Amino acid sequence: MIKVLPRNIFRFVFLVLLQVMVLNNIQFSGYINPYMYVLFILLLPFETPKWLVLVLSFILGLSVDMFCDTLGIHASASVFMAFLRPFVLRAISPRDGFETGTYPRVSFYGVVWFLKYSLLLVFSHHLFLFVIEVFKFDNLHLILWRTALSTIFTVFLIIISQFVMFRK
Amino acid sequence: MRSLIDFIYKYHYFILFILLECLSVFLVIQYNNYQHSSFINSSNNVSGNVYNSLYGVTQYFELKAKNDELVNKLVSYHNQNKKAYKSNNVTLSELYDSIYIQQFEHVEANVINNSVNKQNNYLTLNRGLKHGVSKGMAVVSQYGVVGIVKDVSENYASVISILNQNLKISAMVKKNNYFGTLQWEGGSYQYTTLYDLPNHISLQKGDTIITSGYSAVFPKGELLGIVNKVQQRDGGEFLYVQVKFTEDFKKLTNVFVVKNLLKDEQIALERSSLND
């Protein structure tokens, strides 16, 4: 339990820096951009109080916003995603619930579970993000297209990172 | 009151979500209305420092481009300098002798635009129709062939560089007169390839390659390059010859445009025999 806090602080800083220094410079064909910083929210322990997840996501989004000069956009999308997290977790929980002492990671619950988990949440985050970015609903199919492509890209990076960082 | 507290406690998660979401959306709208009025943007201390140190690294990647930019700027200042203005009178040296007829005329020109790093490079000269340059003329420099004039305007000429995959030049080995075709493969601007040389001839590194003069564009004997590598192709009849340019195209400045006065005659003759 004591190790959880510094690890998460480190992850927070690392992911924000990775996002603003590297990933924001990756833009395929103008609008496909991975937003991998949401991995922080995905990897928070199951036992984290729900309100804390919301607050942490808000701070996370705000930090990314600070670098992107898009004040509030990432924050609102992250908060939205954090809000959905408990519902998604409940919907895809194993039959006898999550065991104590485990974390939402590939190494505990398998690739398929993690893929489902990250796809649902990342898609909702990206959809919210792109909608609030244009702030109107015309050109909906462009928004969906951007969301779909960026989601695939982000989830791909997230899954890869799981295998790189948490090898057994 | 008690029921209100109960309500808030029961739905604290949802209420917090709504609050944070409202705050974010408020920030978005507020920020869009009064740009940069907030302190949370990329010019504050934290993000400013991060971007600054990032720039400290990434600027090295841009050094070359910056350098080129500076050189270009310098050139443009030089061009504004009084020394840059030349008289448009071009003197053509002509020989009057009944046993010689002049075949080639040279017009000096400066390269004002050049590239070596694309797959098909072009350059621009500061001579045009006004100075007697026309389409299809050869461009050579002191150290070798540069290209062929592609388009001319009143004052400028656009030249297909020898560093262009669409340009084929008839070339010859100086010591034994075997000829082949020189064509750039892309890649390094220092090397080109000589095709169609038969397998049996002796060719060593360091042999000189010159123009053959067959094409009616280039005079015979213009320098092209030095053989750098010779490879036998397995099962092929022709050698693979890598040629190193004698000209450094990165610092090309002064060139000559060569006009073949007898070109039309030669082409007309060749065409008539083709038609037979």
pLDDT band at B232; cut points 50, 70, 90: confident
Structural tokens at position A95: 């039959």
pLDDT score recorded for residue A72: 83
Question: Domain ranges in chain B?
Answer: 1-34, 104-275
Question: Domain ranges in chain A?
Answer: 4-165
| Residue B96 burial (CB count, 10 A) | 6
Question: Can you point out the beta strands (E) in A9-133?
Answer: none
Query: In chain B, positions 28-57, which contact chain A (CB-CB < 8 Å)?
Result: 28-31, 38, 40-42, 44, 46-47, 50-51, 54
Structural tokens at position B227: 């053989």
- B8-45 tens-digit pLDDT: 888 888 888 888 888 888 887 776 554 444 455 555 56
Please give the Cα distance from B214 to B220 (Å, whole number): 8
Task: Tell me if A54 and B38 make a contact (CB, 8 A cut-off).
Answer: no
Decide: B241 and B194 in contact? Cβ < 8 Å.
Answer: yes
Decide: B157 and B127 in contact? Cβ < 8 Å.
Answer: yes
Assign domain A4-165 to a CATH class. mainly alpha
Sort out which chain B residues have CB atoms less than 8 A from A75's CB and list them: 20, 23-24, 27
Task: Tell me if B28 and A76 make a contact (CB, 8 A cut-off).
Answer: yes
pLDDT score recorded for residue B34: 47
Nearest-neighbour CA in chain A from B40: distance (Å):
5
Res B214 pLDDT > 90: no
Question: Average of pLDDT values for B219-233?
Answer: 86
Name the percent of chain B in helix, strand, coil, to the closest 5.
30, 30, 35
Q: CA neighbours within 13 Å on the CB side: how many for B11?
A: 10
Please give the Cα distance from B140 to B146 (Å, whole number): 5
**Stretch among A121-135, B84-98, B214-228 having the lowest mean pLDDT:** B84-98
Identify the residue among B14, B21, B37 best suited for mutation to test binding to A, counting A beta carbons within 10 A and taking the highest: B21
Nearest-neighbour CA in chain B from A21: distance (Å):
7
Res B202 pLDDT > 70: yes
Query: CB-based burial of residue A158 (10 Å sphere; 0-12 exposed, 13-18 middle, 19+ buried)?
Result: buried
Query: CB-based burial of residue B215 (10 Å sphere; 0-12 exposed, 13-18 middle, 19+ buried)?
Result: middle
pLDDT: is B59 or A107 the higher one?
A: A107
pLDDT score recorded for residue B115: 73
pLDDT score recorded for residue B120: 72
Backbone angles phi, psi at B91, to 5 degrees: -90, 125
Q: What is the mean pLDDT of each run of 10 residues along chain A (168 residues)?
A: 80 89 72 85 88 92 82 89 90 79 81 90 91 71 85 90 72
Looking at every residue in chain B, the average pLDDT score rounds to 79
Sort out which chain A residues have CB atoms less than 8 A from B25's CB and list them: 72, 76, 132
The minimal CB distance from B41 to the residues A50, A51, A66 is found for A66
pLDDT score recorded for residue B49: 67
In sequence order, what DSSP letters do the residues of A58-92 get, joined into one string? HHHHHHHHHHHT-TTHHHHHHHHHHHHHHHHHHHT
Question: Average of pLDDT values for B201-230?
Answer: 87
Decide: B100 and B86 in contact? Cβ < 8 Å.
Answer: no
B99 touches chain A (CB under 8 A): no
pLDDT score recorded for residue B36: 46
The minimal CB distance from A79 to the residues B17, B26, B28 is found for B17
pLDDT score recorded for residue A167: 55
Task: Tell me if A76 and B26 make a contact (CB, 8 A cut-off).
Answer: no
pLDDT score recorded for residue B35: 43
- B104-113 tens-digit pLDDT: 777 888 887 7
Task: Tell me if A66 and B13 make a contact (CB, 8 A cut-off).
Answer: no
Query: Yes or no: is domain B104-275 CATH 3.80.30.20?
Result: no
